[in-house]
Amino acid sequence: MRVGYLDMFSGVSGDMLLGACLDAGVQVVELETALAPLGLDGVRLAAERVERHGILATRCIVDVPDAAGARRLQEIVERIEGAGLPGPVAERSVRVFRRLAEAEAKVHGTTPEEVHFHEVGALDAIVDVVGGVWCLDRLGIERLHASRFTLGRGWTDAAHGRLPVPPPAVLELVRGWPVEEGAAQVELTTPTGAALVTTLAEGRGVPADFAPETTAYGAGTRELDAQPNLLRLIVGTVPAGEAGELVIVECDLDDLSPQLFEPLAEALSAAGAREVHWHPVQMKKMRPGVTVQVLVEAGMVTAVGAALYRETTTLGYRWWPVRRETLAREEALAATSLGTLAVKRVRRPDGTWETRPEYEACREVARARGMAVRDVIAIVQAELDGRPRSG
Hey, CA dihedral for 15, 21, 24, 28, is it positive or negative? negative
Which CATH number characterizes residue 278's domain?
A: 3.30.70.1380
Domain boundaries, position 120: 2-237
Same-domain pairing of 302 and 334: no
Q: Say whether pLDDT at 246 is over 70.
A: yes
Same-domain pairing of 37 and 179: yes
Residue, of 324 and 60, whose pLDDT is higher: 60
Same-domain pairing of 88 and 165: yes
Q: What is the DSSP letter of 154?
A: S
Same-domain pairing of 320 and 347: no
With respect to residue 390, please indicate whether it lies within any of the assigned structural domains: no
With respect to residue 391, please indicate whether it lies within any of the assigned structural domains: no
Q: What is the DSSP letter of 266?
A: H
3-class DSSP state of 345: strand
Q: Of 324, 349, 371, which one is at a domain's C-terminal end?
A: 324
Question: pTM value?
Answer: 0.65
Same-domain pairing of 199 and 164: yes
Contact between 364 and 376 (Cβ < 8 Å):
no
Would you state the pLDDT for residue 70? 67
With respect to residue 215, please indicate whether it lies within any of the assigned structural domains: yes
Same-domain pairing of 200 and 308: no
What digits encode the pLDDT tens for the residues 90-131? 999 999 999 999 998 988 888 888 887 654 447 888 999 999
Same-domain pairing of 144 and 224: yes
Give dist(CA 54, CA 50) in Å, integer.
9
Would you state the pLDDT for residue 242? 47
Q: Say whether pLDDT at 244 is over 60.
A: no
Cα dihedral 325, 328, 333, 335, rounded to 10, equals: -100
What digits encode the pLDDT tens for the residues 149-160? 999 999 988 766
User: Domain total for the chain?
Assistant: 3
Would you state the pLDDT for residue 240? 61
Q: Say whether pLDDT at 346 is over 70.
A: yes
Would you state the pLDDT for residue 388? 61
Partners of 51 in beta bridges: 56
Over residues 33-60, the mean pLDDT reads 94
Would you state the pLDDT for residue 178? 87
Query: With b meaning 16 or more CB within 10 Å and e meaning fewer, what string describes 251-287?
Result: bbbeebeeeebeebbebbbebbbeebeeeeeeeeeee
Hey, CA dihedral for 318, 104, 173, 170, is it positive or negative? negative
3-class DSSP state of 26: coil
Would you state the pLDDT for residue 243? 45
* Among 211-225, 310-324, 341-355, the range of highest mean pLDDT: 211-225
Same-domain pairing of 164 and 304: no
With respect to residue 193, please indicate whether it lies within any of the assigned structural domains: yes
